[in-house]
Amino acid sequence: PVFSLTISSPTNIALIKYWGKRDAKINLPINSSVSVTLNQRDLRTVTTVSASRSFSRDRLWLNGEEEDVNASRRVLAVFREVRARAGDLRDPKTGQVLVRKDEWDGLRVWVVSENNFPTAAGLASSAAGYAALTFALSKLYGLPDSLADELSCIARMGSGSACRSLAGGFVAWDMGQRADGVDSRARQVADEAHWPELQVLVLVVSDTKKTVSSTAGMQTSVDTSPLLAHRAAAVVPGRLAEMEAAYQSRDFGKVAELMMRDSNQFHATCLDTYPPVFYMNDASRAIVRMVHALNEAAGETVCGYTFDAGPNAVLLTLKRHLPTVLAAANTHFPPKRPVEATLASESLLAAL
């Protein structure tokens, strides 16, 4: 028999960014970060894991292409950590044991994973991907829900930002202090029902693969950027506290401003990296100008932007301002321009 299950995982967008590691092997960051988890209608990864005695080795397909499992230290780490905690696989309906804990050694696993959004274009596809892989394997291997904190650490070993996708709503990833990383994990600060007015809008300006991966870019930044060291030590801690408080009190103007300042500082550290890394392009900068013009014209903050390691913009607004923001986006970027406005979520939902 083949034992199989499918799960879908959301991506998340950092409002205060993770950039830089103190331990690159297990993805321990130099600063804490916070994000919002998006709903799964527009941006998600769907992953199926199957185990069978007739499979001779572990295999993995990402968006239809087979990847070499043994070439990826991150995938191997997730497999190793989940397998170390394996329990009995039970039929969810009848509770009958399908695979006993001590039988797992004889079974290999095939993983099939699909994103419905551009991979590696700075839309946090690795976050959704590793969250999905971790969660799916944990279910297959019969890990109990009580291991949630450990799952967060396992997802983090796959990709740092992935630990934040295991919860919905507003999520903090505490950097932790320990060398083994057990205290470097995500925690939900506010659930998805906390702020239903909040609205995310993704402006896709490019779906090509980024030239410098987050992993490589942040390593060069850690090695060469004095601004990054200053940011992690002296700026982010205060900003995180302010962001958490602003989000809790639903202070949109404050959340948007902190988010924009943090995005700008993150991209400034990329420019301070030597040689510099450029993730934003002319279209990204036009969006930045558009948002500031929009806020100025409105006499209040109706919209904020943030950019990950790519040129695509993620805008945050409130439902009541959505028509204004969409109209501005469409005027600035008429359809012939390579810019597409996608409504990413009506509300920010968890859905694992």
Residues with Cβ < 8 Å from 351, sequence gap 6 or more?
A: 8, 10, 39, 40, 168
Q: Does 18 bind ligand DP6 (CB under 6 A)?
A: yes
Stretch that binds ligand DP6, among 14-22, 63-71, 138-146, 313-321 (CB under 6 A): 14-22
Among 280, 298, 293, 296, residue whose Cα is nearest residue 203 = 280
What 8-state DSSP symbol labels residue 232?
I
Residues 125-144 touching ligand DP6, rule: CB under 6 A, are 126
Q: How far is the CB of 143 from ligand DP6 (least distance, A)?
A: 22
Return d(Cα 173, Cα 19) in angstroms, integer: 12
C-beta of 18 vs 252, nearer to ligand DP6: 18
C-beta of 115 vs 214, nearer to ligand DP6: 214
Residues 202-221 touching ligand DP6, rule: CB under 6 A, are 214-215
Q: What phi, psi does 295 have (nearest 5°)? A: -65, -40
C-beta of 47 vs 50, nearer to ligand DP6: 47
Q: Where are the alpha helices (DSSP H) in 125-251?
A: 125-140, 148-158, 214-224, 226-230, 236-248
Q: Which residues pair with 228 in a beta bridge?
A: none
In terms of Cβ atoms closer than 10 Å to its own Cβ (0-12, 13-18, 19+), residue 234 is: exposed
Stretch that binds ligand DP6, among 79-87, 158-166, 238-246, 252-260 (CB under 6 A): 158-166
Neighbours of 232 (CB within 10 A): 21
C-beta of 287 vs 309, nearer to ligand DP6: 309
Q: How far is the CB of 14 from ligand DP6 (least distance, A)?
A: 3
Stretch that binds ligand DP6, among 54-62, 154-162, 255-263, 280-288 (CB under 6 A): 154-162
Q: Which of 9, 27, 45, 165 binds ligand DP6 (CB under 6 A)?
A: 27
Total residues contacting ligand DP6 (rule CB under 6 A)? 15
Q: How many CA atoms lie within 13 A of 143 on its CB side?
A: 24
Q: Does 160 bind ligand DP6 (CB under 6 A)?
A: yes
Q: Give Dmax (Cα) for the chain.
A: 66
Q: Does 239 bind ligand DP6 (CB under 6 A)?
A: no
Q: How far is the CB of 162 from ligand DP6 (least distance, A)?
A: 7
Residues with Cβ < 8 Å from 35, sequence gap 6 or more?
A: 12, 13, 14, 15, 161, 164, 170, 171, 173
Q: How far is the CB of 213 from ligand DP6 (least distance, A)?
A: 7
- Give the CB-nearest residue to ligand DP6: 160
Q: Over the Cα atoms of the chain, what is R_g?
A: 20
Q: Does 33 bind ligand DP6 (CB under 6 A)?
A: yes
Q: How far is the CB of 221 from ligand DP6 (least distance, A)?
A: 11
Q: Which of 28, 78, 124, 325 binds ligand DP6 (CB under 6 A)?
A: 124
What are the DSSP calls for 287-318, one per residue? HHHHHHHHHHHHTS--EEEEE-SSS-EEEEEE
Stretch that binds ligand DP6, among 16-24, 36-44, 194-202, 255-263 (CB under 6 A): 16-24
- For strands 59-62 and 108-115, give the pairing: parallel
C-beta of 27 vs 134, nearer to ligand DP6: 27
Q: Which of 78, 133, 153, 309 binds ligand DP6 (CB under 6 A)?
A: 309
Q: Which of 14, 121, 166, 236 binds ligand DP6 (CB under 6 A)?
A: 14
Q: Residue 129 is encoded by which pair of tokens? A: 């991907």
Q: What phi, psi does 336 have (nearest 5°)? A: -75, -20
Q: Does 308 bind ligand DP6 (CB under 6 A)?
A: yes
Interface residues with ligand DP6 (CB under 6 A) are 14, 17-19, 27, 33, 124, 126, 159-161, 214-215, 308-309
